[in-house]
Chains A and B, each alone.
Chain A
């Protein structure tokens, strides 16, 4: 395959994914607990661009659905991107963004916030994401510190440290909840992952974090390819391996922490999406990164839509929808592996 035809294939793939994402977003905005005729949806969108309308459709579309759907896209993209990075760092196509105990750290941060901040919506709207974010990042720092030996970061040590920290923080979280039963429902609900009642502020914040966090992966896509050959080989081919690992880990953790802070623990997207995209477009990160981000966005927008309409008006936490997809995904992987023997 020549270089230019490969570039064309890249471009086509990304354009295709972008169109699919646009379609998903449109569907996400058009459907919900209250059914709106398409004309009203379009009207609301066009009015939104010029100002703010005052009908029910405007309120539903612009204040509730649009920020939520966009946030779903951002969270999905963030988790998928982080998944790609972790899979490269661990040279394992089944690594998961929560692999370093980041989820337990975020959970503890969110629990402490919910427990200490009372029932004020505003306090919670700011405090819980902050707590979750801080928890996630501090956990990552702790795990990296534990796993560093003589200035080298070894994947197995990272894994072990992540598991150890994960168990410890989960235990502490449960302990806190024993003393604060009233917060238990809120915490459990948060942990199941949800995108409800999210505002444009959340969208802006996560958008900024994703933009910052995706700089490194997109600029260093070749290094990511080389890391897959093993640390020593990558070094022989010219990669400053230890420095790069920290950079990649930092970007991935920033992006995961951001996603978790606004949406709780949504699982499987970060694991399934890069894996599936890699099966289709191949392992080169130049295409894998943007394709996974777009695919992750699509997956979560669709999952959120399902979460909202399957049992409408009851809203299933999004994390449950993704987990329900996760089970069959692994079974399919297993079947495929058995067949290829």
Chain B
């Protein structure tokens, strides 16, 4: 499948051994230790300026290796440029060109390290160039001038140029930043298949979703350090994302692709200081509480969600936003402990909002806890037969709440207004 792209023979691992890198007097990353094994695609992610690109550049001398060693078989620092170029290919963030090379000539430059002083391109070199351009969908650009190409075309062309080196190790710096959806996937599928064919691939990504989807392992670079690479699901949990990026995000395994999907919910900085915030209880599930939960947290309130099943959208959002909840196994039911916990958490809130979630036997205890908590209730929507799957119990609890003075809200906006009134009354 990879034809000429991957040289025959064993792959070579790229190893960082307690490597500190930087420029001049500045050390950007300290004591990075990790491996990229042949056949593996490792993604480097992290906030801007963390040093991801610096680590990458250090492999080929663009940044200084101040301590430790980087090896690809042998120490790369000691390699001559020519040998290094046959071993390691780099796809940097592409810069626009001032000179009018043709695209084909541009890619042919990748063969430089394979040619002797007096040699020009041999048939096998032309074959490599041809295949590389096919696989990157740049063959049709062959006679165009590089100074007239779009950013996306130039980026794919730069990849082709690096692949023309037939490297065993591939370094990518944001390889899809200029690419449209179609080309981005094409490039990543290509890189994935190269990794599967035995190349060791290390890529810097800004898009956590893409990194999570294509990388075998992910390493987070932040605050001068590098976390050991782990599988995406482990490396990218909500707590880490919140801590490293300052973003509250929902991290779930996407049912369609089977990969980790990250949905940012809100920025940590946007959360108002919680001095004036209340504690609000939320009875929700199946996504009915997500939006309201988000608005409440943004406004600086703390939220208690009752009990939710793992895999429920609201559970993921609650976890992302740091809301208090009792986590149940998927499709599991509440046991006595859970019920007691929920009751306790609801007893500490100012008021409780009941979101328009349907109720069944499994989550009815949440409603029961809310109604019996004695707290002011805000009921959203109506309790019609489409919501009551608990044999009428939900309806009965609803009516009980209404008779005890629960307020009804038609929409989230209404609910929020009622909340404010509730708080004002409390004083």
The chain A residues found within 8 Å of chain B, CB to CB, are: 1, 3, 91-93, 219, 222-223, 225-226, 228-230, 232-233, 235-241, 278, 282-284, 286
How long is the Cα–Cα vector from A282 to B84 in the complex, in angstroms? 29
Question: Of A232, A238, A284, which is in contact with the most chain B CB atoms at under 10 Å from its CB?
Answer: A238
9 pairs from A and B in contact (CB 8 Å cutoff): A1-B143, A91-B98, A92-B98, A222-B112, A228-B97, A230-B95, A236-B92, A238-B86, A282-B102
On whether A235 and B86 interact (CB within 8 A), knowing A3-B121, A226-B109, A284-B105, the answer reads no
Segment touching A, from B10-18, B54-62, B271-279, B335-343: B54-62
Instruction: Decide: A232 and B110 in contact? CB cutoff 8 A.
Output: no
**Min CB gap B242→A, angstroms:** 35
How long is the Cα–Cα vector from A230 to B100 in the complex, in angstroms? 15
How long is the Cα–Cα vector from A93 to B110 in the complex, in angstroms? 23
**Min CB gap A240→B, angstroms:** 5
| Extra inter-chain contacts (9) besides given A3-B126, A236-B90, A284-B101, CB under 8 Å | A226-B112, A230-B95, A232-B61, A233-B92, A236-B60, A236-B88, A237-B85, A237-B165, A238-B113
Interface residues of B in 72-119 (CB under 8 A from A): 80-82, 84-86, 88-90, 92, 95, 97-102, 105, 109-110, 112-113, 115, 117-118
How long is the Cα–Cα vector from A230 to B93 in the complex, in angstroms? 13
Instruction: Decide: B62 and A238 in contact? CB cutoff 8 A.
Output: no
Name which residue of chain A comes closest to B114, CB basis.
Answer: A238
How long is the Cα–Cα vector from A233 to B173 in the complex, in angstroms? 13
Instruction: Decide: A283 and B60 in contact? CB cutoff 8 A.
Output: no
The chain B residues found within 8 Å of chain A, CB to CB, are: 57, 60-62, 80-82, 84-86, 88-90, 92, 95, 97-102, 105, 109-110, 112-113, 115, 117-118, 120-121, 126, 143, 161-162, 165
Name which residue of chain A comes closest to B145, CB basis.
Answer: A282
On whether A240 and B100 interact (CB within 8 A), knowing A229-B109, A233-B92, A284-B105, the answer reads no
**B118 partner residues in chain A, CB cutoff 8 A:** 219
How long is the Cα–Cα vector from A222 to B62 in the complex, in angstroms? 21
How long is the Cα–Cα vector from A239 to B84 in the complex, in angstroms? 10
Instruction: Decide: B101 and A225 in contact? CB cutoff 8 A.
Output: yes
**A282 partner residues in chain B, CB cutoff 8 A:** 100-102
**B97 partner residues in chain A, CB cutoff 8 A:** 228-229
**Min CB gap A149→B, angstroms:** 10
Question: Of B62, B81, B95, B100, which is in contact with the most chain A CB atoms at under 10 Å from its CB?
Answer: B81
On whether A225 and B100 interact (CB within 8 A), knowing A236-B85, A237-B85, A240-B81, the answer reads no
Instruction: Decide: A239 and B92 in contact? CB cutoff 8 A.
Output: no
Instruction: Decide: B82 and A240 in contact? CB cutoff 8 A.
Output: yes
**Min CB gap A155→B, angstroms:** 13
On whether A238 and B85 interact (CB within 8 A), knowing A222-B115, A233-B92, the answer reads yes
Instruction: Decide: A228 and B121 in contact? CB cutoff 8 A.
Output: no
How long is the Cα–Cα vector from A236 to B89 in the complex, in angstroms? 7
**Min CB gap B160→A, angstroms:** 13
Name which residue of chain B comes closest to A243, CB basis.
Answer: B81
Contact of B57 among A228, A232, A239 (CB under 8 A): A232
8 nearest CB pairs, A to B: A238-B85, A238-B113, A283-B99, A236-B90, A238-B82, A232-B62, A236-B60, A240-B81
**A228 partner residues in chain B, CB cutoff 8 A:** 97-99, 101
Contact of A225 among B85, B109, B126, B143 (CB under 8 A): B109
